Amino acid sequence: MRTEGGLETVRAGALTTVQDLGRPGYAHLGVPRSGALDLAAHRLANLLLGNPETAATLETTLNGCTVRALGPTVAVVTGAPCRVAVDGRPAPWGQPLRLRPGAVLDVGAATHGVRSYLGFAGGVGAEPVLGSRATDLLSGLGPAPLSDGDVLPLGTPGPLPAAGRVVPDAAPWAAPPRELVLPVSYGPRDDWFTAEGLRTLVTGTYRVSAASNRIGLRTEGPALARAREGELASEGMPLGAIQVPPEGRPVIFLADHPTTGGYPVIGVVPPEALSAAAQAAPGTPVRFTQSGRGR
């Protein structure tokens, strides 16, 4: 880890956190996986900089953030498209930017989507906790969300990709969705819902709620009719679980989700479909499609 340089936070934005691939394997301790919500955008930022995919990035929410380089570095912005400027001059989104000491990198509000990712050569050097530098909003593990004036170290950079090199994994990154389509495998508690409730899930008109966060994507729309009342004994909750609280509207668990819960899970969304959920802004239409067993 470098002992000089780093970043100073000039404008922290609505919510800017340090994220990497998370800390899987600790659910038995009550610790979620956490990590970048849009893993494809996180991986792309590191790829463009010649970092390993495990290097930490900054994940912004809605209105971006502004940082000052305390030493020479190279940065890139991926994820939700946004205005990018260096020292007040427009700079390209999605391309590596060389920053001199004292340069100010401003990442503006997302023009569509929710979360942008700032990658830096060598990665953000926050102190690892349980093998990860990720900020976990539920458990409080990892570095605190950024505040104005915070200083972050950077890791030692590797060689940048050669100029003009074609980056093979750049193209598959998907733009923020105009409609969020989520495949669902029913179970394990789909029998707690009526046949009409199951049909409602895949035929109803839902939208992303403004109450969504890194813990879960909440929806607005028709309630799912229950066949059984009451609550379950607390049981394990996987990433992508669709939990249905008493008001009947689905909640999709994201990276910072609780590892146990007592509300029935009607189905599960596969992890590879969740990067799109990370970029679905409030009001985005949501459509569930059945991909597993049903009745």
Which residue from 112, 110, 141 is spatially nearest to 35, judged by alpha carbons?
141
Token pair 């990198």: residue? 105
Which residue from 254, 206, 214, 253 is spatially nearest to 62, judged by alpha carbons?
214
- What is the tens place of the pLDDT at every residue in 71-89? 999 999 999 999 999 999 9
Give the list of residues 6+ apart from residue 28 with CB closer than 8 angstroms, or none. Answer: none
Place 5 in a pLDDT band, splitting at 50, 70 and 90. confident
- Report the greatest alpha carbon distance in the chain: 63
- What is the tens place of the pLDDT at every residue in 210-267? 999 999 999 999 999 999 988 888 999 999 999 999 999 999 999 999 999 999 999 9
Considering the domain architecture, whether residues 13 and 140 belong to the same structural domain is answered as yes
Considering the domain architecture, whether residues 43 and 137 belong to the same structural domain is answered as yes
Residue 2 in this model has a pLDDT that exceeds 70: no
Which of 152, 170, 196 lies at the terminal end of a domain, its last residue?
152
Q: Dihedral (C-alpha) 183, 188, 194, 198: value to the nearest 10 degrees?
A: 0
Place 157 in a pLDDT band, splitting at 50, 70 and 90. confident
Residue 2 belongs to some domain of the structure: no
pTM: 0.92
Token pair 């950024």: residue? 146
Place 277 in a pLDDT band, splitting at 50, 70 and 90. very high
Query: Across-strand partners of 286?
Result: 180, 206
Residue 223 belongs to some domain of the structure: yes
CA 278, 280, 283, 289 dihedral sign is negative
Considering the domain architecture, whether residues 204 and 92 belong to the same structural domain is answered as no
Q: Looking at the 3D structure of the chain, how many domains does it have?
A: 2
Helix or strand run (H / E) with residue 73: strand 73-79
| Residue 75 and residue 97 in contact, taking contact as beta carbons nearer than 8 Å | yes
What percentage of the chain reaches a pLDDT higher than 90? 85
Residue 232 belongs to some domain of the structure: yes
Which of 152, 168, 188 lies at the terminal end of a domain, its last residue?
152
Considering the domain architecture, whether residues 132 and 242 belong to the same structural domain is answered as no
**Whole-angstrom distance, CA of residue 119 vs CA of residue 46:** 6
- Which CATH number belongs to the domain containing residue 220 in this structure? 2.40.100.10
The pLDDT of residue 161: 56
Query: Across-strand partners of 124?
Result: 154
Mean pLDDT confidence for 189-197: 96
**Whole-angstrom distance, CA of residue 234 vs CA of residue 232:** 6
Residue 166 belongs to some domain of the structure: no
Domain limits at 21?
A: 7-152
Tokens of 134: 């990720």
Tokens of 39: 């893993």
Considering the domain architecture, whether residues 186 and 139 belong to the same structural domain is answered as no
Residue 161 belongs to some domain of the structure: no
Considering the domain architecture, whether residues 87 and 196 belong to the same structural domain is answered as no
Helix or strand run (H / E) with residue 68: strand 65-69
The pLDDT of residue 177: 85
State the chain's mean pLDDT as an integer.
92
Place 171 in a pLDDT band, splitting at 50, 70 and 90. very low
Residue 124 in this model has a pLDDT that exceeds 70: yes
- What is the tens place of the pLDDT at every residue in 48-64? 999 999 999 999 999 99
Residue 46 in this model has a pLDDT that exceeds 90: yes
**Whole-angstrom distance, CA of residue 195 vs CA of residue 188:** 15
Residue 111 in this model has a pLDDT that exceeds 70: yes
Three-class SS of 109-133: EECCCCCEEEEECCCECCCCECCEC
